[in-house]
Chains A and B, each alone.
Chain A
Amino acid sequence: TQLLEQSPQFLSIQEGENLTVYCNSSSVFSSLQWYRQEPGEGPVLLVTVVTGGEVKKLKRLTFQFGDARKDSSLHITAAQPGDTGLYLCAGELGRGSEKLVFGKGTKLTVNP
């Protein structure tokens, strides 16, 4: 059973389009992280959200943590080919546990 459901699994869009990636769970997380991973490399942390309802912006990327801390979304505005990659969400189950549960990832391709 996948603790964190990520959708969509694959997404191919044209440059300039907007997109949203979702991360859902029935479990409550003390924090949730979003990572981006390139082929053959380790994940790179984009953002950490901690408070229910929290919204964080990173240039064209907007991250939101659900009020109940069970879900999160990543919205990209005016996607560019450089945004292509695997986006992973990961939740920390217990505060201070440091153990992360990863979603399966969303493979995003932005075509020029």
Chain B
Amino acid sequence: GAVVSQHPSRVICKSGTSVKIECRSLDFQATTMFWYRQFPKKSLMLMATSNEGSKATYEQGVEKDKFLINHASLTLSTLTVTSAHPEDSSFYICSASGWGLAGGSQTSTDTQYFGPGTRLTVL
């Protein structure tokens, strides 16, 4: 299957600082990327959807000025948590869908391939 990577896997930062998380599709063209947030023992909550070259669409209740999303290329999207606070501590997961030949098989535009997640801890 298609591979999606995230960096960093873990980050600890001080309150008030900004943190950038990268999401990369390694072997296919990601026309759409999604950012999720997962609290302990909870399910994934979609934060925003981004299409390459256009502004992200945020879900209701998600502050677009706090969670800046950039999808500048077909293989990279970034999520920047600005002025992070302890309540922003969470597990952030990206996913990507698109097209191309990955892992020996054709990827489907309808399938989301998930990254391994980034654990953010704000002190």
Contacts and interface: CB of A to CB of B under 8 A. Distances in A.
A45 B43 contact: no
B32 to A, nearest CB: 6
Interface residues of B, number: 26
B67 interface: no
B72 interface: no
B-side binding surface: helix, strand, loop or mixed?
Answer: strand
Contact of B32 (A33, A90, A98): A98
A-side binding surface: helix, strand, loop or mixed?
Answer: strand
Residue among B44, B46, B113 facing the most chain A CB atoms (10 A cut-off):
B44
Interface of A: 31, 33, 35, 40-45, 48, 88, 90, 92, 96, 98-105, 107
Given A31-B110, A98-B112, A42 B43 contact: no
Interface in B103-123: 109-117, 119
Interface of B: 1, 4, 6, 32, 34, 41-46, 49, 91, 93, 95, 97, 109-117, 119
A98 B43 contact: no
Given A40-B119, A92-B110, A45 B42 contact: no
